[in-house]
Structures are given as C-alpha cells and as structure tokens.
Structure 1
C-alpha cells in the first residue's frame, strides 16, 4: 500500500495535516546574520563535536533568504498547518535586554505569509537554541534563565499572539535535559547528572511560567508543550529487574514531563531516584500553576525505546541496572532507529487515557533516508513513503479506537542541519541540494503526502 491509498475517511474534515521544522536547523548558524550566538554555534566550534565537521558558520538551508519559495512549497503541498520555532537569539540576541526588530520582522513575514496561503501557524518558543550568554550563567540549571524565558515568552505573545493560535513552550525538553546535560551528545555538551536533574526541574518550571506569560497577554491562544514520548519495551527473555528498569525509563522519557507540565507534580519514584543519585531534590511546589499550558498536547514519536535484559549491572539510564540497548525487526533507518508503527498508537491511546479532555497532535513523526534525485530528476524515497504509510495508518487506527487526535505533523519539511550529525542525515520530504544553491526538490513522499491531504478533504 502507498501513502496515497491510506483510508482517511474516519477522520473529521477539521483534522489538521502539517509539517514542521526548527529554527537553527533551517535558518543556519551565527553567520546567517541578524541574530546572536547560541549554544549550537558554540558546540560547532568544538573539533569533532559535529560528526560531519560542520562549523558554526553554516547557513542552514537558507530558509531566511528563501522564505517565499519555502512558503510556496507548503502551499503546493496543500498543508493545513506549519509548525516552526522562534530562534530566541534572533529576536533577543543575548537572551535578555533589548529585542531585535529585524529578527521579529522575519517571523512577521513568515506568519503573514502562512496566513496569506491559508496555512495555520503553530509556534514553538524553544527548540534547543539557547542564547550563549545565558549558558554562561549556568543555562537552564539557573532559575534566573526561567525568569528571562518568561519575559521572552511574554514579548513573543505580544508580537505574534494576534495571529498565531497554537503555541508550544518547549520542544522535547527530554533532549534538552538528558542529551544536552547528561550524555553531552547535544549542546551545551555537559556530562553531569546533577546538572541534568536541575535542568529537568527548571524546564518544567519554565513551561509553567512561560505559558502564564503567553496567556497574560494573549488569553485567547492555545498553549501546550511538545514532548518526545515513547513506549519502552523489552525484546527477548525478561526478568523482574529488567521490568523495573522499564518503569524508570518510562519516568525519564514520559512521566516526568507529562506529569510535571500537565499536572504540576512529579513522579515520586523519580524524585527519590534523582535525590539518591545526585543529592538534588526537585521540589514540586516550585513548579507553580500549569493550568495555562495544557490546552493541547504535542506528541513527537519516532520509535520505541527497545531494551533487552542484561547490562552487567549498568543500565543505559542512571538508576537502571538490568537493561541494555537492542534493536527490533529488520527495518532500520539511516539513524539506526527501528520501525515500531504500533507504538505510536499505543502512546496516543495512553495519553488520551491520562488526559481525556486535552486535544492531542502528533507534532513530529518521520524518518531518515538519504535518497537524492535520480536520473529522471525525481527523488524516489520509497522507504520513507512506506514508513509514513505504516505510521499514519496506526495514527488513524488510534483515532478510531478513541484517541483524542486532532492532527498530524510530518517531520521534516526540508532536509537540514541534523544537530550533532551535521548535514549527513536527511529527514526532509523536500530534498535540499547543499552543493547547488540549496535547490529544493519535493521527494516522492512529499507528493504522496500532498495527495493524501487533498483526498482527505474531499
């Protein structure tokens, strides 16, 4: 079955079909102009930190310069909505003090251009590009940065709240805390468990403070958070110890963020574990009122977290002892990630059960394959289309079984800077020729997605 053959007839006409991107990945590094430095510029300066050697002067895929073309591509694909993020250092170069009108003007052009094409803007305030000046004072581990983030959120609400309905405070706070401050794979490349725990706590506080600041100025908008949720699973023989580890992994990946951001409380087992392992106590009374930031739930899902029993007493997550990493099935993308389409349904139904009255959006789902134009000039990304077919079918099945699913955003619109991988990995449904003026070529998957959207509206 191809993507064009997916039966969408059970979905309401109001179902939103979209794509997404993030600011730093498509707008480029510090040399792209009219913005301050961010922690990813700093990481790009570190030899070997970016696998393909990309430096901080990379220009992303020149989205700022090619905005009109990118907007027209979105229109040609019949998108209902486009999910993008604001680069904090583009609109406020140092993360405090004066705002940059040129940066604000760019996002005004983007938002107005979307609305002119009848495409709903969906705005994320933070997708990992913290201003460098704020990292110098401790980054997200410092409560002062939460205060500054709330000021930034309020100003963005004042600038764009009249035209943007959907707001997300954060994209994948899990990555910010654990990949950025525990494993050091992402910026700011810190490897310190106590720091990571402090960051995890302050990010939840920032969601509460940021959503309050947005609503104080634009009470009519809808605010939520976007988290990369997963369904931890074991393959092969199980043990009680391995099952207990899965509960901890679920806490790291899912429960800390959903319970913290949507209920204003923390899982007691994680609070106890973090204090035992690091000496850092996360006081949930400091979270504050989260009621302004629970209008919708963004679920980013790519694959299950897959483990097998074992690990020689050292688990993959601090506090776990009996699991090691494993693959699943025969299908893996270029990142090595297994295909687990049933998992997205499992997660959507779980979130619906926990928060039955809050609309859910699949805010990211997609896959990574490096297909380029063939002799006919077309990009025959067959594996991507097969992946999307299976996952979208699973989303529809979840809706039919009661998931409160209101929309689906495919990741990503454009090939781009894939963080620590540089430009070596391609998630886009539009091919970008990095060697030839960033020329855009919609892949076959993009054309199939366009046809699916059009068919769903008939």
Structure 2
C-alpha cells in the first residue's frame, strides 16, 4: 500500500557551494577556509581539494536540466561568501551574477530555489582576523547576507542562514577535524555563539526588508538513546550527547538561553573557556538569536545508543565543577561509549536508523518548534557504488532513501507538520575531509570526465516524486 504526501509537501535535493562548484579562483573568487584547510598535509584523505569538484560553476544548466528530469520540486544550494564578497570585502559582481543566473535557470525549470547563506566556507582572510571567534565576523556576515538579498530577494522566498553550526564551531574550532582546523575548547564555544548571533541578526535584517520571506536555520541533530534506560551512567551519557549536539543550538534559537547542564559540563572540561564565552555573550544577544522563524531545517543521518559511567550527584549551586566524567565539546567524549546495535551501516560506518528520524521530528516539532513548519533539509547515505554500463545499481542507497522518506511520512501521520524532504546529495561531490572517496549522490559523477549518470536511487526518487507517495 502506498501512502500519499500532503499537497504542499516539497521533494528536493541539496548541495553546497564548495562541494560542487569548482572554479575555485575564477571570476574574482578568493580562498575560503576550505581552500586553505584542504592544502594542509593530512587534513583531507588523499590530499584532495575542491578546486574543480563537480564543475557546477560551468555546468549548472546541465545540472538544472537533470533536476527537472528527476522531477525535483525544490533545490537547496548554498552561496559562496568567498565568491560574492572575496576576502570579506567589496561585492564581486561576477560572483553575484552566477547565483542570479542559477536562480533564473531553476525558476525557468519550475524548481523552487532554497538558498543557504553559510555552508562552512568563510573567506580565509576573515579567518586570519579571528574567524568565528571574532564578533566582527558577525557584521561581515550581515553585509554578505544583505548583498545576497539585494541580488536575489525578488526571486528567492526560502532563506536558510546557517547549515549545521555544530560542525562549523565544534568540529572546526575545537576538534580540528574541519576547516579552519583549530583545537581549542574556548574557540569552539565562541564560534558557536557568534554563528548563532549571525543567524539571529540576519533573520532580523532580512525580515525588516521583506516580511514575505520564509526565514530559517538548519541544524544537524541526532537521537541519543541510553543503552539501559535504568542505568544512571547510560542516561547521563545520552543527556550529555543530546545536550552538546542538539540542545546547545536548539535552546538558544527557540528558548533564548543556553542549557545550564551543558554549561556545567563545559566548565568541568575547561573553566577558562567558559569564562571567555560568558564575556562574549552580550546584552541583547539572546533576543537576537531567538528571533522568530518561519521554517526549521533538520539534518539527520543516524542516531546513537550510548553507555557511560555513573554520574556523581547533581552539581551544587553556582555551577561549581565536579569530578564526574563529562562530555568534551567534540566527539571524543570522556566516559561515553557507543554501543553496537547490529544495524546495517553505510559506507561512512554510520548506522541506518530510519525510525530515529521519525522520533526526532516528533520531538523537535512539539518541544521546540510548535507552529513552525519542519523540513528535512539533509538525509542521505554514502555507499561504494559500482557503475555497470549506463546504470548504477545502488540497492542499499535506494533502500535507505525509501525507508527515510517513509519515516518522514510516519512523522506526518503522527501529527508533525513536516513540509519537505531534501535528499543529500543530488551529485556525488567533494565530501570535506573525505575528499572524493565517499559518494552520497543519487547522480554519479565521473570526476575525470564530469559525466553524470543517474543511479537507481535517483530513478526511485523520481518515481516517488511523480507519485507523491511512498
């Protein structure tokens, strides 16, 4: 039996500028933090960079035609700060014109453009001045956002401020796994706050310009479950992961305050880092960060089953540090163990857990965003595809896609206002620290020739879209 989707539901796919555009230093574009990071020995598998990627900068008409062939109703893409305002400075008209032409191409094809302002590619010149640890970067981001609205506000309705600020703060400034590759607890906390502040101030600015825009943000979220719900250590492990991964961003955006328990956790890791962060949070910041939204994007790839050591008693008043194991602000969480469940795994080693997406949407909607439409802005899987002639039979990805689209339908059946699903990704592309080794696309890209081949998963997605049912 097939289940239809609501009439207003949008089916789409997503990409990011640095991952597909190429043309890294053409037409006035200058280096982003990823251009610099990709050239650090050992930072990226095989030393790959995104200088060419999928050559989308030159091939966008072909790619838009492919989207139309698949039946996509909407396309989520990001704009490159380094292309639009090179080095964070004056406007580069050639860079702006590229996105104007892309938007026109999408509209001519009947595809709704969904613009993300920041998908991790800050100009390297701004990073040299402090990057997201500097409050001045917020002002530079507002200038960039205003430039994009000046150019595209008449044709683009949906605007996402940030993609996955957890990655562009903690993975990037504390864990050193993503650009710019810093490894400092305090830097990660400062980056997270300034990213959120840039989000909030951009929402305020764009709304003051045009109240008809749909303004939102995208967070990558997880489902953190205790291995034993009756074991205090396991329950605390799930709390810590949920707190640092989910609630550190959800609470400021929707409740106007950072979660107190996570502040305590951070204080035990590095009290001086918390002191730096507290000085950075200025009057009015939380009001800006919690500016009302029109849409909320959820990125989901997998959940976690967690075990941990038993926590000590609750911290005393005043957030005084305790001796118990706490979550560090990056993935090597002390005292936490990830439990194997026997679930299938993707080529990234991530568990396939579609029911986690249903539960996540059921939680986020009522608990954080009542009355705000939810969109699954990324969901996908990497597998080791093998091309067979003119076909790419990717049965595992096809099953992943169907299962997760079904999980979204389950959430709708449960009463959650979910209005869209974007598969990650339209194309095989440059996958950050993994270079070109991991393939997420429903369209295969032969990187040596730039040939595009629709995979079986892409054909299946086209059938789902055409039927508007799963």
TM-score range, shorter chain: over 0.9
Residues 457, 367 of structure 1: CA spacing in aligned structure 2 closer, same or farther, 3 A cutoff?
closer
Q: Tell me the TM-score normalized by structure 1.
A: 0.93
Deviations 1:173-193, CA, capped at 9 Å, x for gaps = 000111101111100001100
Alignment of 1:270-419 (within 5 A): 270-276=262-268, 277=270, 278=273, 279-282=275-278, 283=281, 285=283, 286-290=285-289, 292-309=291-308, 317-318=328-329, 321-354=334-367, 355-374=369-388, 376-419=389-432
Unaligned ranges ≥5, structure 1: none
Deviations 1:206-265, CA, capped at 9 Å, x for gaps = 111111122222321010100001111233686312312321211111112112123322
Deviations 1:387-407, CA, capped at 9 Å, x for gaps = 111111111011000111011
SS at match of 1:332: coil
| Contact residue 237 and residue 306 of structure 2 kept, 8 A | no
| Contact residue 25 and residue 419 of structure 1 kept, 8 A | yes
- 1:73 shift after superposition: 0.3
Aligned residue number for residue 63 of structure 1: 56
| Contact residue 207 and residue 293 of structure 1 kept, 8 A | no
Deviations 1:278-308, CA, capped at 9 Å, x for gaps = 2334437423334655111000001003323
| Residue among 247, 265, 268 paired with 2:239 | 247
CA RMSD of aligned residues (A): 2.1
- 1:29 shift after superposition: 6.3
SS at match of 1:266: coil
| Contact residue 271 and residue 281 of structure 1 kept, 8 A | no
Greater shift in the superposed pair: 69-78 or 247-256: 247-256
| Residue among 155, 161, 168 paired with 1:176 | 168
- 1:326 shift after superposition: 3.3
Deviations 1:114-171, CA, capped at 9 Å, x for gaps = 1111111100000000100110111101000011111111221111111111100000
SS at match of 2:166: helix
SS at match of 1:73: helix
Aligned residue number for residue 72 of structure 1: 65
Aligned residue number for residue 321 of structure 2: none
Aligned residue number for residue 124 of structure 2: 132
Aligned residue number for residue 95 of structure 1: 88
Residues 289, 396 of structure 1: CA spacing in aligned structure 2 closer, same or farther, 3 A cutoff?
same
Distance 1:384 1:115 in 2: 29
Residues 318, 76 of structure 1: CA spacing in aligned structure 2 closer, same or farther, 3 A cutoff?
closer
SS at match of 2:129: coil
The answer to whether 1:25 aligns with 2:19 is yes
| Contact residue 234 and residue 307 of structure 1 kept, 8 A | yes
Residues 79, 308 of structure 1: CA spacing in aligned structure 2 closer, same or farther, 3 A cutoff?
same
Aligned residue number for residue 445 of structure 1: 457
The answer to whether 1:8 aligns with 2:3 is yes
Deviations 1:59-94, CA, capped at 9 Å, x for gaps = 111001111100000000111100000000000001
Aligned residue number for residue 111 of structure 2: 119
| Contact residue 186 and residue 277 of structure 2 kept, 8 A | no
| Contact residue 19 and residue 81 of structure 1 kept, 8 A | yes
SS at match of 1:425: coil
Distance 1:329 1:284 in 2: 47
Distance 2:265 2:34 in 1: 30
Equivalences, count: 448
- 1:310 shift after superposition: 5.0
| Contact residue 64 and residue 105 of structure 2 kept, 8 A | yes
| Contact residue 31 and residue 59 of structure 1 kept, 8 A | no
